[in-house]
């Protein structure tokens, strides 16, 4: 492994110093990244010192280096997992051949598209979350938000490195464009739908990090199998950071449920209006937020039957989740996969060529992951003796992409009419009133050790520090 010289302008383990052209390209891009961070990164944080984790190398101790960092001075670096000597492509038509260290000419356009699509989500989420710091429920949470923001920034760096190093002039243009699109902008939106939605409050933020960062995990896992070795190595390292983002989401919702359940049990209140009078988030509101974030995230996996997915797989660009652990031919010749579809108002399972169903397969694996998470949340409600529980809606609910796009399906999987949809939509998806209520709870809490009333404190602090540690210092 290349040693890391952290005093370099761009910390890295890719021997940047040995590639002058690349170094110059990245040094030209860096000030534009800083401009973007200043304009679109977390609002009004230019003088904050934040107790952050910075990757200074990829070995066990180096990737989690904690210290106070002045936010704009965060040192975004380029880190790839160490190369595996003799690594082979292990799926698709090139199975058994040496992994590629350079981009194969015939796959250049597809690879670039995959990298740009992944790369675009990283700055998008920073843009979506940029106002949240103003209403953080504690210093602990504020610090976690900023940690996620700087790491999404680093993920952008990771993808820009690949573009600039391996894709020449087109790569440089794509790197610029990644800083020009804007989440939610009508004229130059981010590429994927969920990344143009607003993350306007902390309930939405925790739902986003639980559901949408988890989509990130599954996409990164599929790319970590890639025959293009630099992509595999860079996404593998990104996954170590992604785990923390999902932790923030899962524990954030768990803490909200803890607080709500405690109030409901203590006062014997169940009606949402009564629960709200105690200043906590009622379960139906939380459920509607969940329905929204879950369904828009399911769309991110793409069409259930997709010839692009088949091409990406058979050409060795994007594998399956846990490809190495699946026991089959890793070419999927003649294999089929069941895809759920609506025919004449009823759900039917259709066997389609497995190669075309790879998006659906990844989505199904993702759903399995979220089911476990929701199960853990429900145990909090049970622990307080409540009969209410949280459920994941049916996978056809509120979909915009794939065969369920535009179908009218209730969260419980009933196929319904347009009329029924309109009559019930307010019960199923967040209303303006829900968002206004949640917004009314959001006030800034910045006294060390204090937490807003709608959320329970976490079980432990960061890096073994106590909960009243000064995770953010304002100057």
Tokens of 346: 């009823």
**Applying CB under 5 A, does 213 fall inside the site for Fe ion?**
yes
> Would you count residue 165 as binding Fe ion (CB under 5 A)?
no
- Piece of the chain touching Fe ion by CB under 5 A; list 138-146, 152-160, 381-389, 454-462: 152-160
Which is nearer to Fe ion, 242 or 434 (by Cβ)? 242
Specify the residue, 195 or 404, whose C-beta has the smaller distance to Fe ion.
Answer: 195
Contact 466, 450 (CB under 8 A): no
Stretch that binds Fe ion, among 161-169, 208-216, 258-266, 369-377 (CB under 5 A): 208-216
- Total of chain residues touching Fe ion, rule CB under 5 A: 7
Contact map string, positions 217 to 256, toward Fe ion, x by CB under 5 A: -------------------------x--x-----------
Contacts of 377 (CB under 8 A, 6+ apart): 250, 253, 254, 257, 390
CB of 220 to Fe ion, least distance (A): 8
Stretches 16-24, 48-56, 155-163, 188-196: which one binds Fe ion (CB under 5 A)?
A: 155-163
Nearest distance, CB of residue 152 and Fe ion, angstroms: 5
Cβ 71 to Fe ion shortest distance, Å: 18
Q: For tokens 């082979």, name the residue.
A: 88
> Which whole-number Å values give the CA distances from 204 to 196, 279, 287, in the listed order?
13, 17, 11
- In angstroms, give the least distance from the CB of 193 to Fe ion: 17
CA distance 247 to 191: 26
Q: Are 403 and 304 within 8 A, CB to CB? A: yes
Do 281 and 454 form a contact (C-beta atoms < 8 A)? Answer: yes
Contact between 155 and Fe ion per CB under 5 A: yes
Whose CA is closest to 55, among 246, 256, 237, 214?
Answer: 237
User: Is residue 53 involved in binding Fe ion (CB under 5 A)?
Assistant: no
Shortest separation between residue 216's beta carbon and Fe ion, angstroms = 5
Three-state SS at 165: helix
Between 152 and 323, CB nearer to Fe ion: 152
Residue 452 phi, psi dihedral angles, 5° rounding: -60, 155
Give CA–CA dist 226/224, Å, rounded: 6
Rounded-to-integer distance, Cα 29 and Cα 52, Å: 24
Neighbours of 44 (CB within 10 A): 12
Site string for Fe ion, 416-455 (x = CB under 5 A): ----------------------------------------
Q: What is d(CA 14, CA 464) in angstroms, rounded to the nearest whole number?
A: 32
Q: Shortest CA distance to 472 belongs to which of 64, 72, 141?
A: 141
Q: Is 190 in the site for Fe ion (CB under 5 A)?
A: no
Pattern 105-124, Fe ion, x by CB under 5 A: -----------------x--
Between 10 and 223, CB nearer to Fe ion:
223
Q: How far is the CB of 410 from Fe ion (least distance, A)?
A: 31
What is the binding site for Fe ion (CB under 5 A)? 122, 152, 155, 213, 216, 242, 245
């Amino acid at each position: 492994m290349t040693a890391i010289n952290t005093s370099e302008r761009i910390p890295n383990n890719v021997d940047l110093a040995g590639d002058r052209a690349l170094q110059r390209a990245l040094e030209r891009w860096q000030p534009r990244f800083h401009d973007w961070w200043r304009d679109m990164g977390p609002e009004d944080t230019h003088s904050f010192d934040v107790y952050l984790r910075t990757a200074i190398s990829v070995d066990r101790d180096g990737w989690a280096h904690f210290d106070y960092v002045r936010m704009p001075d965060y040192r975004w670096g380029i880190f790839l997992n160490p190369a595996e000597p003799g690594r082979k492509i292990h799926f698709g038509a090139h199975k058994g051949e040496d992994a590629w260290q350079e981009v194969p000419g015939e796959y250049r356009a597809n690879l670039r598209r995959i990298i740009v699509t992944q790369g675009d989500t990283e700055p998008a989420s920073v843009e979506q979350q940029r106002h949240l710091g103003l209403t953080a429920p504690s210093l602990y949470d504020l610090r976690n938000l900023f940690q996620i923001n700087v790491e999404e920034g680093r993920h952008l760096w990771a993808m820009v490195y690949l573009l600039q190093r391996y894709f020449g002039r087109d790569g440089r243009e794509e790197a610029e464009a990644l800083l020009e699109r804007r989440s939610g902008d009508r004229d130059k939106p981010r590429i994927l739908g969920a990344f143009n939605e607003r993350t306007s409050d902390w309930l939405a933020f925790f739902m986003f990090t639980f559901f949408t960062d988890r989509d990130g995990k599954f996409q990164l896992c599929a790319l970590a199998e890639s025959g293009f070795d630099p992509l595999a190595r860079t996404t593998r390292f990104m996954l170590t950071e992604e785990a923390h983002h999902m932790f923030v989401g899962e524990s954030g919702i768990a803490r909200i449920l803890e607080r709500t359940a405690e109030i409901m049990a203590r006062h014997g209140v169940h009606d949402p209006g009564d629960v709200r009078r105690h200043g906590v988030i009622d379960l139906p509101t939380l459920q509607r937020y969940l329905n929204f974030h879950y369904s828009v995230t399911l769309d991110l996996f793409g069409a259930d039957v997709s010839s692009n997915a088949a091409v990406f797989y058979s050409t060795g660009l994007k594998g399956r989740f846990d490809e190495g652990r699946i026991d089959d031919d890793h070419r999927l010749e003649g294999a089929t996969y069941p895809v759920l579809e609506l025919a004449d108002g009823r759900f039917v399972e259709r066997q389609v060529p497995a190669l075309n169903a790879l998006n659906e397969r990844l989505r199904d694996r993702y759903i399995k992951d979220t089911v476990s998470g929701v199960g853990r949340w429900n145990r909090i409600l049970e622990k307080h003796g409540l009969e209410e529980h949280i459920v994941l809606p049916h996978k056809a609910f509120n979909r915009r992409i794939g065969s369920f796009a535009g179908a009218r399906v209730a969260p419980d999987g009933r196929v319904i009419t347009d009329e029924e949809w309109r009559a019930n939509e307010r019960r199923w998806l967040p209303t303006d009133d829900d968002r206004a209520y949640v917004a009314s709870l959001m006030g800034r809490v910045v006294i060390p050790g204090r937490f807003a009333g709608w959320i329970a404190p976490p079980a432990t602090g960061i890096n073994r520090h106590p909960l009243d540690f000064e995770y953010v210092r304002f100057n």
